[in-house]
Amino acid sequence: GSEMCIRDRKRSYIMNKKRIISAVLALMTVLACLVGCGQKQADGPAEEGDLLARIQARGSIIVAMEGTWAPWTYHDESDRLVGYDVEVAQAIADKLGVKVDFVEGEWDGLLAGLDDGRYDIMVNGVGIAPDREEKYNFSSPYAFNRTAVLVRGDYDQIHSMEDLKGKRTANTISSNYAALAESYGATVTGVDDLNQTIELLLSGRIDATLNAEVVFADYQRTHPNANIQVVAFSDEPERVAIPVRKGDDSATLLAAINDALAQMDADGTLSRLSVKYFGMDISKEQ
């Protein structure tokens, strides 16, 4: 009888132990769920917050630009980053209530960085184009810019856009200028920046190059003895705007940028900056 009692007590002890273990495991599962759900709720807004919210939480907006394309973005004699787009970006950041972090690089790399989220926006005289509109949402245009054809001073075989057929030009490969030159039948050589382009032109390795009218005007102003001349213009001005990655999380940022640009247009800021850097007002369509 006593052995049976011992066995019963053992069985009861084991069953109680199993129940206790089961209860502890169940409690741990509940606690884990509560902690996990609480953590998810805590993390949720940060993860799901749109791009503008993340920028404002960070306290800065990351702006990509070349820094080698006067007078849009370039370095002055003191090696300070300046230009029309530098001041436009700074003014937008001020209106968003954040600082601005400028990141400089080559054109293609800037677009790639915008694609993969390393930069919030690109402010670098970016023209609106159908292929770009497939990838980005653009702000309202904040500059209107005629494309000019530049040749050597002693070159007389190009007098119109149509004369580009069969000629050699140079531009950054993914630029609107390269696409425009190719559309008229030119063969385009890829370059990194304007200075490299001018070197190719002056050495006779290319026949012409396309770029913003104001960029060539600025180059001629700073290089009055350069053997170059503008011989033709595009019919339609390029609309310059700010590209933002497509996606629902970018909609509020785009709206805020458009609001800032509208204020800058209304109070004359864009006109003032345009005259300061270009010597003319290109902030409005002529």
Give me the pLDDT at residue 119, please: 97
Give me the pLDDT at residue 3, please: 43
Q: What's the CA angle centered on 261, arms 112 and 76, to 5 degrees?
A: 65
Give me the pLDDT at residue 28, please: 53
Phi, psi of 102, rounded to the nearest 5 degrees: -85, 135
Q: Residue 130 in contact with residue 207, Cβ under 8 Å?
A: no
Give me the pLDDT at residue 236, please: 87
Give me the pLDDT at residue 196, please: 93
Q: Residue 285 in contact with residue 144, Cβ under 8 Å?
A: yes
pTM value? 0.73
Give me the pLDDT at residue 108, please: 84
DSSP helix/strand/coil, 2:
helix
Give me the pLDDT at residue 38, please: 43
Strands 238-240 and 143-145: antiparallel
Amino acid at 34: L
Tens-digit pLDDT profile for the chain (286 aa)? 544 444 444 445 444 544 555 554 554 544 444 444 444 333 334 445 799 999 999 999 999 999 999 999 999 999 999 999 999 999 999 999 999 999 999 988 999 999 999 999 999 999 999 989 999 999 999 999 899 999 999 999 999 999 999 999 999 888 899 999 999 999 999 998 888 999 999 999 999 999 999 999 999 989 999 999 999 999 889 999 999 999 889 999 999 999 999 999 999 999 999 999 999 999 998 7
Give me the pLDDT at residue 14, please: 46
Give me the pLDDT at residue 22, please: 53
Q: What's the CA angle centered on 234, arms 132 and 162, to 5 degrees?
A: 105
Strands 243-245 and 136-138: antiparallel
- What gap in Å lies between CA 170 and CA 159, rounded to an integer? 18
